Amino acid sequence: MTDKTDHLAALMRQSLKGDQLAYAQLLQETSRFLRPFLAKRLSFTNQVDDLLQEILLSIHKARHTYDGNRPYKPWVYAIAKFRLQDYLRAYYSDQLHHADDLSEMENYLHENVTESAISYESISGEVEKLPQKQATILQLMHQEGYTAKEVAEKLGMNESAVKVAAHRAYKILRQKLEK
Amino acid sequence: MGNIEELIARLAQDTAAVKPVPHPYMLSLQWMGWAMAYLAVSLMFSGLRPDLMSKLHEPLFVAELAALVGIFVATSLSASLLSFPDMHQLRRVAFAPVITFALFVAVMFIAWQADNPPAPLPTHSFECTMGITLVSLLPAAWIFYVMRKFASTHSHLAGCCALLFAFSIGAIWLRLYEVNDSVIHVIEWHYLPMIAFGMAGLWLGKVMLKW
């Protein structure tokens, strides 16, 4: 383990002197040990790839703060954790934003249903015209009374993906109802 | 996966020899050197308090100055460590300001207890905060400018330490310049604002030290 760490530190020392091959090897080895670290914390492969790219860019930007005389991995993990936190913060704030939109949309839909006596049945024709996945989600949630979590389990989807799909469906329906 | 390989190839092509930044201890020494030179110039313009020599025989005044210098040293050290993504793997040292602040609070508490009967309050009040702020602005701007070249992963704390470092220069300057023996005044208009600016540094660090 120490040998490996020393090897990485040595590669970084060479990289700082401008050795391109050493730098490429260092980044490859870095991405190799960072990938499982990120995969454990993120759900999708594309998220892991995106974040890994961002981390590699950050390592490149911050390489002048590493002198090669201390262990390499703690330095890299400090950057990786920092970028991961940033990424998750942005991701969850986006989710929260979607959830806010969704609850707004649900309120709107419920208001309309009560005010103008629109029931699920009365707009089921419009629902059927939606993309199949969205139509199924709305049917399960509003006709059969499942929660988003239950729908996610039933359809083998992520709960947030169900909410996003429902949100998009509400948007389409709202536009149609407004017409 | 292919994107990662492409990115690595591109980054490797981009790389040129890079000079690593100095060790944080050296960095901190440099910063303190510049700050002391700035303090000396400020005192040359403003002048020293006329009773400074006699005040330097008072243990509590000396203890207060020493505690302030302790904050100056510890925050400079901490700001330099916090500029590195991994705090140069000296995490414990980075939290040195906690100890110096505890000492400072203890000294001020003893000074406050000993200030009996209380020394008369000076006629001025917020002017002291203004003076400290004006003197500290330049070091604050400079330290943020320097720290932006690093890669802090604790930008809030780094910003806080940077501002405390800058404002401790102002606080030391005023203590060496102003003829004032009121502990209450000093706490209220010198040190509490200094700490408040340090807290503002938490936000400023987040904004200014993004990378």
Residues of A in contact with B84 (CB under 8 A): 65
pTM of the model: 0.76
Residue reference for tokens 């707004």: A104
Mean pLDDT (chain B, rounded): 94
- Band (pLDDT 50/70/90 cuts) for residue B119 is confident
Of A94, A66, A75, A69, give the one whose Cα is nearest residue A164: A94
Q: Residue ranges of chain A with pLDDT lower than 50?
A: 114-116
- Cβ contact A64:B19 at 8 Å: yes
Least CB–CB distance from A62: residue in B9, B11, B85: B85
Q: What is the pLDDT at residue B96?
A: 94
Flag if B153 and A49 touch (Cβ within 8 Å): no
User: What gap in Å lies between CA B78 and CA B27, rounded to an integer?
Assistant: 11
- Alpha-carbon distance A101 to nearest alpha carbon in chain B (angstroms): 28
CA distance B175 to B61: 9
**Predicted pLDDT at A75:** 96
- Answer for the pair B179, B130: CB distance below 8 angstroms, yes or no: no
The pLDDT value given to residue A167:
80
Give mean pLDDT, residues B122-140.
Answer: 93
Q: Distance of CA A144 to CAs A127, A131, A174, Å?
A: 14, 19, 21
CA distances (Å), B193 to each of A4, B66, B120, B140, in order?
Answer: 50, 19, 21, 15
**pLDDT value of residue A101:** 64
> What pLDDT was estimated at residue B141?
97
Q: Where are the domains of chain B?
A: 59-208
Structure confidence at residue A102 (pLDDT): 63
User: Which residues in chain A have their CB less than 8 angstroms from residue B211's CB?
Assistant: 58, 61-62
- Give the whole-number percent of chain B exceeding pLDDT 90: 88
- Kindly report the nearest CA distance between residue A114 and chain B, in angstroms: 46
Interface of B with A in 6-45 (CB under 8 A): 7-9, 11-21, 23
pLDDT tens-place string over residues B171-204: 999 999 999 889 999 999 999 999 999 999 999 9
The answer to whether B151 and A79 have CB atoms below 8 angstroms apart is: yes
Range B66-83 average pLDDT: 97
ipTM strictly over 0.85?
yes
> What residue ranges define each of the domains in chain A, with the CATH number in brackets?
2-91 (1.10.1740.10), 118-178 (1.10.10.10)
